[in-house]
Amino acid sequence: MFKLNLKIALRNLWKNRGITAINVGGLAIALAAFILVTMYFTYETSFDKSNPNYENIYVVGRIYPEFKTNYTSPPFAKAIKQNFPEVELAGITKGGFFELVIKKDKNTVFAKNFMQADYNAAKILNLKPNNGLEKPAGDVEGLSYLSSENMKALFPNKKDNKPEMVGIGASNSGITSRIDGGIKKDLHSNIIFDGISIRNELGKGENYGYNNYTTYIQVKPGADIGNLEQKITNLYRAELLKGETDKKTIEEIKNVSTFLDPLSNLHLRPKAGNDAPYKILIALSVLGTLILVIACINFTNLSIAQATKRAKEVGVKKVMGAYRFQLTSQFLVEIFMQCFSATILALILAELILPNFNNLFQLNLSIWHIDNPLFWQLPLVLLSITLIAGIYPAMVLSGFKPSLVLKGNFSTSKQSSWLRNGLLVFQFSVAVIFIIGLFIINSQLKYMRSQDLGFTANQVVYIKNIMLFNKPEVFEPVRERFLKIPGVKLATVATDVPNGAENGSNGYTTNGLQANIDFVDVDFDYFETLDIKLKDGRFFSSSFKTDTANAAVINESAVAKYGLKNPVGKTIRGCNIDYKIVGVAKDFKAQGFESAIQPTIYAIKNPCGNYKTQIMLKIEENKMADALIALKAQWPEINPKDGEDFRYEFLDELYGKLFKKQEQLQSVFFAAALLTIFIAVLGLFAFAKYITNGRIKEIAVRKILGASDVQIFKLINRSFFIMVIVANLISWPVAYILTKKWLETFAYRIDLPLLPFVSSALITITLTVITVSIQAKKAVKANPVDALKYE
């Protein structure tokens, strides 16, 4: 019996190979997209899961009325461990400020992030050097490790785990350091570093004002996190209130709280950060699922449409004693064969597309590795789509009544017709949502690229450097050397460049109001180099000696924050300095379009600030190449610590990376829109063929009675036209809500336009009319005699 059913299945599939090809091809394309999205989802949601204590690790952050931050001070971790028994370990880490150049003989590596961690943090984060995690012997000296990749580059022939001495910076700098070994860097982790220094204690002697560390805690399994979070907040407030007598400061401290952010949150939706990656991942997952769903709908629709061709077979089998369960099983096996073929084809397509997918998302995903969960997920997906796409058609086919079908009544029920039409409407509704989404993403990206940023990144070169230029007199001779190079118009140095990174923040008081605002420590010509516009007053100038002592420039957002009127000349106090406001800079989008411009103060002197290491040069466009060649040649003399290692990036390219996620989303929506339209039109093509073939005799009679070709075309297109209009009306409100939610993730965005909604309707209607008309043409042009000669 099975052999007979198999022969019948193969014969039917071959006989209807056009429909079979559409079914298998459409399903394979959708499955390939689903496979890629599933792999990406699995990758993005499994960061740090190799850590055995993954479920019990939290980052401790601070909440102020104006902002949240993961940065805390060194004493806080120790206080948490001492006061709360449910905390097993507490440790801190600190990121590197600059890119370290490390040399051994003729080999050089660049460590972009040489992280520091105390011993407890290393245990919490499961950091394992190749020779095992050791506790440093002293309180000051730590153990330094390079990533395994960097160790191999520096010591290609090294066989042992003995420490090595290396040079730091230029070959003739004379600066050396000890590397105690290599450490495997987990590429699938939020703890990113090229090298790491592990010490017994970090931040020794620093108080609660030094908030530039990250605190990690490991709690005991089953700990009440909500209760612990409140207790840590109370502890933090108590620590800040020690020795404090000022009533206003005491009230402000009462508004400060803390939070615990699970390690699982850090990659996609940190509490003190942007959750755009999480939203994009969810959007991609929904897209992949919807594409697969509409492919299954296509399958179901075409299978139901083909039902009449199997009616006599079902009738005969039932008369011969076949049970409905047997018939259902037979048809499900046929559907499984098609789904299995589609799955094999999908794996081939996914393998072909994967290099482009990896390039788009800057990943290194692979289908064929033993740990890939796809190998157990795919059989489940195959079984699911077989049931989803096949159970209803199998029930319809097996449900024909022999007494009717053997008399020639092969029509499916009105219920089936409504289902087919409803599924087709759903397909086009999804396609319309994708089209609208694509148009709106394109509009937002166009807006972002064309908007005035408030500063000019073009022709600004950012030079990487390890020298510290906190004092203007140290940078001045360097600036003079820069300006002697033809084409270099301006030179400056600062703690930060406008590339989307967060600035430091601190408490400043003016106009009777104390608030935490961002600070950027700069040098002369900072605003001029970036072409930032002046709103009021003046920028820093070497003509005013006090500018290096207590002058400050604030931006428009800071003026609004403090409610200042005529701010120039007023005093703002922070870091134990009374700054005189000499100017107001116009706001500029240093953090991109997703974050609102932060109130910011700029000063040349800031005892509580970071190191000024970020050099920026404004170079004439037509002299850029020559200027860079000259800079590289003169760099050992200009900056002896960096010597021969001249490294630079263009600021406009750095800033352009802020658009990367949205450009990825644009590419994905473009592919999704094409796929959904293709699958929907594929289904429509086959469905229109079925409907047209079923009305051949009706069309012949109408032509004999005088109907024109145009009238016949209108007759066939009318029902499909109505379905597409209904699909648009259903999808517009959904698309409006979804795109509005997406746009709300941007602080600076377009108004929701009407054109994408109209365009989606025109596109889907045009495609429908063309697709249906192609099928209808054959029926319209046929000779009526051929259709009616046997009547």
Residue 695: DSSP 8-state? T
281 and 191 assigned to the same domain: no
In angstroms, rounded to a whole number, what is the distance separating the alpha carbons of residues 757 and 735?
9
In angstroms, rounded to a whole number, what is the distance separating the alpha carbons of residues 369 and 291?
26
Residue pLDDT, tens place only, 158-209: 888 788 888 887 777 777 888 888 998 888 888 888 899 999 888 888 888 7
| Domain membership of residue 742 as a residue range | 2-43+276-448+660-788
307 and 203 assigned to the same domain: no
Name the domain boundary from 265, 285, 309: 265
Contacts with 77 (C-beta within 8 Å, 6 or more apart), sequence order:
60, 90, 91, 92, 118, 120, 215, 216, 217
Name the domain boundary from 241, 265, 289: 265
At 735, which helix (H) or strand (E)? helix 709-743
699 and 769 assigned to the same domain: yes
Tokens 């300095």 — which residue? 577
Pull the structure tokens for residue 271. 């509490």
Contact between 83 and 449 (Cβ < 8 Å): no
Measured distance between the N- and C-terminal CA atoms of the chain, rounded to whole angstroms: 38
**Residue 764 domain-assigned (yes or no):** yes
111 and 249 assigned to the same domain: yes
Residues in the chain where the model's pLDDT stays below 50: 410, 412-415
Residue pLDDT, tens place only, 503-552: 877 889 998 888 888 999 999 999 999 999 999 999 999 999 889 999 99
pLDDT of residue 16: 66
Name the domain boundary from 624, 658, 692: 658
**Residue 455 domain-assigned (yes or no):** no
284 and 318 assigned to the same domain: yes
At 524, which helix (H) or strand (E)? none
Contact between 598 and 438 (Cβ < 8 Å): no
At 745, which helix (H) or strand (E)? none
220 and 364 assigned to the same domain: no
**Residue 502 domain-assigned (yes or no):** yes
Residue 187: DSSP 8-state? T
Residue pLDDT, tens place only, 61-99: 999 877 788 989 999 999 999 999 999 999 999 987 778
Strand 87-94 and strand 488-494: the pairing is: unpaired
HSE of 408 in the Cβ direction (CA atoms, 13 Å)? 0
86 and 220 assigned to the same domain: yes
**Residue 470 domain-assigned (yes or no):** yes
> How many CB atoms are located within 10 Å of the residue 260 CB?
19
Phi and psi for 744 in degrees, rounded to 5?
Answer: -70, -10
646 and 667 assigned to the same domain: no
Pull the structure tokens for residue 203. 């931040």
pLDDT of residue 628: 94
In angstroms, rounded to a whole number, what is the distance separating the alpha carbons of residues 94 and 73?
10
Contacts with 227 (C-beta within 8 Å, 6 or more apart), sequence order:
none
CA angle 340, 381, 9 (to 5 degrees): 30
258 and 349 assigned to the same domain: no
Contact between 447 and 749 (Cβ < 8 Å): yes
Q: List alpha helices for 504-614, DSSP H.
A: 526-529, 547-550, 556-562
pLDDT of residue 425: 86
Contact between 785 and 701 (Cβ < 8 Å): no
Contact between 191 and 108 (Cβ < 8 Å): no
197 and 232 assigned to the same domain: yes
**Residue 348 domain-assigned (yes or no):** yes
In the chain, the number of structural domains is 3
653 and 738 assigned to the same domain: no
**Residue 271 domain-assigned (yes or no):** no
Q: Is 162 exposed, middle or buried (0-12, 13-18, 19+ CB in 10 A)?
A: exposed
252 and 291 assigned to the same domain: no
**Could you tell me the pTM of the whole model?**
0.80
**Residue 49 domain-assigned (yes or no):** no
Phi and psi for 638 in degrees, rounded to 5?
Answer: -70, -45
Helix 709-743, helix 755-781: angle, nearest 10? 150
